[in-house]
Amino acid sequence: MINEVLKVFRELNKRDFRVLTGIEMGMKHFEWVPAEDLNKYTKLPSEKLNYRLKKLVRYNLVVRTFQPYEGYQIYFEGYDALALNTFVKRKTISAIGDEVGVGKESVIFEAIKEPELAIGEPIPVIIKFHREGRTSFKQVKRVRDHLGEREHFSWIYAARLAAQREYEIMTNLYPKVSIPKPIDQNRHAIVMELAKGSLLSKTKVLDPEWYLDEILRQVKLTYSLEIIHADLSEYNIFVAEDCIQLIDWPQYVTPAHPHADELLERDVSNVLNHFYKKYGVKRDLEEVLKEIKSESESERGTEAGEESETKTGEEGEGEAGEEIGTKTEADLESDVGDDFKEDINDEFEE
């Protein structure tokens, strides 16, 4: 568990991080990174390297095999430690607190960010560590299929891609749509502001009509920016006294997605069902959907037909939730490559 990571995090020094980064780099090419190659990646002499490796194995940050050769793999916990270290170095976070949630495909921790230029109060933030590769075998399999014979493909790619995808869409939507402010992203982790209030699923609001209207208004706004959440429900909506916020975006789709209409309909009916069951507030699904699409469609209708066709072509995506596999192998390579470069610079500067 990541709690363990927090315990050992303080015990880790630059060299340990360098070895972790070396294994991370090696996992681009190997399922089990050969001990020999680590000398090369880390530029550490064998004796020092072995000492670090033993320590990392003892701390459960990496795992070792001796068959068919001595090799190493990073655990999620080791990967968490690398992301955490980067956030600390960038001053994105200055302290980390308790676990605040475990989602379907993530672990979430509370943390503190110092204010810009040290003016004002520290800002409460959360760190979302993506866990796609481990918890969603289906998703990994899709990426794996996509990568063909690359047997050594690891969860690192799936989790990193999901985090990149979520961070990117959040930076596009914020502040137009009411979502927590995205702050930083590294590897499989995102830092964002703490959402206000509490989850809709855990709350009983006093003015359900107002909250329902506000949620639908945000869905409409999102749709007008050509985004559909695609996993909307009372579990991904925060409600506070005077606002609502939508969270959990990695599976979003665009209206060009072949199942866009079904996904939008599912999002909206989840919300309507919740308000009907819990508060007896009734709305007509068809009417609500029509209203959400109304202005967007007229806007899109006025665009040159050619333009929207190109868009459809470019964004033609596979099945729902398959977007993670839509990047080409070259994209994956370059994403990972760039990040690796950045990570290496980070870890190797003395």
Q: Which of 97, 103, 197, 208 binds Mg ion (CB under 5 A)?
A: 103
Q: With both helix axes pointing from N to C terminus, report the angle between 329-348 and 14-26 in degrees, rounded to the nearest 10.
A: 160
Query: Is residue 80 flagged as an active site residue?
Result: no
Q: Which of 92, 236, 251, 270 binds Mg ion (CB under 5 A)?
A: 236
Nearer of residues 166 and 248 to Mg ion, judged by Cβ: 248
Q: Which of 16, 234, 248, 267 binds Mg ion (CB under 5 A)?
A: 248
Minimum separation from the CB atom of position 142 to ligand ADP (A)? 17
CA distance 116 to 325: 37
CA distance 32 to 37: 11
- H/E element, 245: strand 244-246
**Residues engaged in binding ligand ADP (CB under 6 A):** 100-101, 103-106, 108, 126, 128, 180, 192, 194-195, 199, 235-236, 247-248
* In the complex, residue closest to ligand ADP by CB: 103
Minimum separation from the CB atom of position 106 to Mg ion (A)? 7
**Which residues lie closer than 8 Å to 65 by C-beta, 6 or more apart?**
32, 71, 72, 73
Minimum separation from the CB atom of position 82 to Mg ion (A)? 24
CA trace torsion 293, 294, 299, 302 (10° rounding): 110
77, 67, 229: which is closest to 155 by C-alpha?
Answer: 77
Nearer of residues 16 and 267 to ligand ADP, judged by Cβ: 267
CA distance 79 to 154: 12
> What, of Mg ion, ligand ADP, none, does residue 318 touch, CB below 5 to 8 Å by kind?
none
The reply on whether position 234 binds Mg ion by CB under 5 A is no
| Long-range Cβ pairs for the range 344-348 (8 Å, 24+) | 344/21, 344/25, 346/85, 346/86, 346/89, 347/14, 347/17, 347/18, 347/20, 347/21, 347/82, 347/85, 348/18, 348/21
Nearer of residues 204 and 282 to ligand ADP, judged by Cβ: 204
Minimum separation from the CB atom of position 117 to ligand ADP (A)? 24
Catalytic residue, chosen from 80, 184, 231, 267, is 231
Nearer of residues 197 and 258 to Mg ion, judged by Cβ: 197
Q: Which residues bind Mg ion (CB under 5 A)?
A: 103, 236, 248
Q: Show which residues are catalytic.
A: 231
